[in-house]
């Protein structure tokens, strides 16, 4: 551990409750929004945030609270995929908010578009119209990654009748994710398939046809819970530490994102007693419906009064902060955050990488959209061989996370947050400088 004149970072890193919190969060299950697991986990987390509030003493007079915001809930009642002429069904899982097929299903030829880049869609041209586009999932944390929703949007724009996205890794089964389609918006039936099913379709040759059937329905009155703790400092400027509680039901959503929630709780415990005279204020937010195209944090931020929104000066979003021994801050186009990341690494005695372009793959993107300097701290950036490649799959379980990785993330989070909490007005404005 790095030498430091102040022992509090060492104490934060060795938080005795960190792993127990992580395991407890995983114990709620995959925590998919609308399942009830996410809500139960959020209520538990509010109690843990109140423990952090008590560490702050009399300064934090307001208890941790829960607010609920509406989002466009949806549920799939039936899904099936058959390769025409074959006897065994193919494995499939509809994307969240997929368009339903007609009651009889969709029979159409499949066109293999490889990775599904813009050049692949352009090469297919009019041949794609009325067909089902087959593309590949990619490791999500790399400079070359193209998000599934962008591929889905291109399939819709090019007139495809359906969309299949295959796991790029053999033997890992199905993945889970959102289409991003809003209620009443145009779209097409869309599903994940496993690598082996994609191989079977491709092996059937040009013109291979499949039968796809998806029956989904709106879940009326859906709400996403948000847990909020405010610890006031001397100044109203707020640093926001955020993480999302919801996940997918294939595994335990351990990496994505029990890691982020557990680390945020540990950081809150460590920072709370240090906030007061001479510091800015701290807000901790746990969002739900993040896996639904970031809907929960979008609704929350859009609903804040302008004067409250103006107090949010920095967002440190924790999402998948273990699964590899490297940490990178995705700084959302805010070049002013590069120095913060560098200084945070120096304070923590570790290397924290930074990546400048906006990657709208977690709740930090909604803060950035409001002009708030925002970063996502993530493990395994540009390391597809890491255990991070288990996210969105049944393999996203406690066993892929190591104690030392979580503790490293706590140390980095505390260092970054402390620099924000002790920054003056001019420094906070400098964080908001953008590239170009």
Residue-wise pLDDT for 349-362, tens only, equals 999 999 999 999 99
- In whole angstroms, give the CA distance from residue 411 to residue 345: 9
Q: For residue 427, give the 3-state DSSP assignment.
A: helix
Nearest 10 degrees: Cα torsion 176, 213, 100, 288: -20
Token pair of 118 as six digits:
């813009």
Nearest 10 degrees: Cα torsion 109, 114, 115, 117: -80
Residue 2 maps to a domain? no
Helices (H), 247-363: 259-271, 295-302, 306-309, 338-348
The parent domain of residue 269 ranges over 8-71+222-431
C-alpha atoms less than 13 angstroms from C-alpha of 168 in its C-beta half-sphere: 16
- In whole angstroms, give the CA distance from residue 50 to residue 382: 36
Please choose, from the candidates 173, 163, 99, the residue with its C-alpha nearest in 3D space to the C-alpha of residue 132: 163
Of 219, 242, 272, at which residue does a domain stop?
Answer: 219
Residue 278 to residues 144, 409, 423, Cα–Cα distance (Å):
42, 26, 10
- In whole angstroms, give the CA distance from residue 370 to residue 301: 8
Pick from 3-7, 137-141, 314-318: least confident: 3-7
pLDDT of residue 2: 43
Residue 286: pLDDT band (50, 70, 90) is very high
Cα–chain center distance at 412: 19
CATH code of residue 24? 3.40.630.10
Residue 177 to residues 32, 299, 354, 398, Cα–Cα distance (Å):
11, 19, 26, 20
The verdict on 143 and 48 lying in the same domain is no
Kindly tell me if the per-residue pLDDT of 4 is higher than 90: no
Of 202, 219, 236, at which residue does a domain stop?
Answer: 219
The verdict on 54 and 95 lying in the same domain is no
Taking only Cα atoms into account, the Rg of the chain, rounded to an integer number of angstroms, comes to 22
The verdict on 283 and 397 lying in the same domain is yes
The verdict on 143 and 108 lying in the same domain is yes
Residue 436 maps to a domain? no
The verdict on 35 and 100 lying in the same domain is no
169 Cβ neighbours under 8 A, 6+ residues apart: 195, 389
Helices (H), 235-388: 259-271, 295-302, 306-309, 338-348, 364-369
Of 219, 235, 260, at which residue does a domain stop?
Answer: 219
**How many domains in the chain?**
2
CATH code of residue 119? 3.50.30.30
The verdict on 287 and 322 lying in the same domain is yes
Burial of 211 (0-12, 13-18, 19+ CB in 10 A): middle
Q: Per residue in 28-83, pLDDT tens?
A: 999 999 999 999 999 999 999 998 888 767 566 688 999 999 999 999 999 999 99
Residue 253 to residues 64, 172, 177, 249, 279, Cα–Cα distance (Å):
24, 15, 12, 8, 34
161 Cβ neighbours under 8 A, 6+ residues apart: 106, 108, 130, 131, 132, 188, 189
Residue 3: pLDDT band (50, 70, 90) is very low
Decide if 294 contacts 302 (C-beta within 8 A).
Answer: no
| DSSP H or E segment with residue 44 | helix 37-56
The verdict on 206 and 229 lying in the same domain is no
The verdict on 229 and 212 lying in the same domain is no
Residue 1 maps to a domain? no
pLDDT of residue 1: 39
């Amino acid at each position: 551990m790095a030498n430091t004149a102040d022992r509090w970072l060492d104490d934060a890193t060795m938080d005795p409750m960190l792993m127990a919190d992580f395991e407890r969060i995983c114990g709620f299950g995959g925590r998919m929004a609308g399942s009830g697991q996410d809500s139960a986990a959020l209520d538990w987390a509010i109690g843990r945030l109140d423990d952090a509030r008590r560490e702050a003493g009399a300064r934090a007079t307001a208890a941790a609270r829960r607010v609920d915001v509406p989002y466009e809930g949806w549920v799939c009642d039936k899904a099936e995929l058959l390769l025409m002429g074959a006897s065994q069904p193919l494995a499939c899982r509809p994307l969240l908010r997929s368009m339903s097929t007609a009651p009889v299903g969709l029979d159409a030829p499949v066109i293999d578009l490889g990775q599904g880049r813009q050049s692949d869609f352009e090469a297919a041209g009019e041949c794609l119209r009325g067909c089902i586009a087959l593309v590949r999932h990619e490791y999500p944390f790399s400079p070359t990654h193209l998000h599934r929703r962008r591929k889905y949007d291109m399939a819709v724009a090019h007139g495809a009748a359906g969309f299949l996205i295959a796991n790029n890794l053999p033997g890992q089964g199905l993945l889970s994710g959102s289409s991003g389609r809003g209620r009443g918006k145009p779209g097409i039936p869309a599903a994940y398939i496993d690598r082996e099913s994609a191989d079977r379709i491709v092996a059937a040759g040009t013109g291979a046809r499949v039968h796809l059937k998806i029956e989904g329905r709106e879940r009326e009155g859906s709400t996403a819970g948000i847990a909020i703790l405010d610890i006031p400092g001397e100044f109203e400027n707020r640093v926001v530490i955020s993480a999302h509680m919801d996940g997918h039901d294939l595994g335990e959503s351990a990496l994505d994102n029990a890691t982020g929630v557990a680390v945020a709780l540990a950081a809150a415990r460590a920072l709370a007693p240090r906030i007061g005279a001479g510091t800015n204020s701290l807000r901790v937010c746990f969002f739900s419906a993040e896996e639904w195209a970031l809907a929960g944090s979008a609704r929350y931020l859009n609903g804040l009064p302008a004067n409250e929104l103006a107090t949010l000066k920095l967002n440190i979003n924790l999402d998948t902060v273990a699964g590899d021994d490297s940490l990178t801050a995705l700084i959302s186009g805010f070049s002013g955050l590069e120095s913060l990341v560098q200084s945070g690494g120096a304070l923590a005695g570790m290397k924290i990488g930074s990546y400048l372009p906006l990657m709208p793959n977690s709740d930090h993107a909604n803060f950035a959209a409001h002009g708030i300097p925002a970063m996502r701290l993530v493990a395994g950036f540009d390391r597809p061989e890491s255990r991070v490649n288990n996210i969105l799959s049944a393999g996203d379980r406690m066993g892929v996370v190591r104690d030392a990785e979580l503790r490293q993330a706590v140390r980095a989070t505390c260092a970054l947050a402390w620099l924000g909490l002790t920054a003056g007005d001019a420094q906070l404005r400098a964080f908001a400088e953008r590239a170009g």
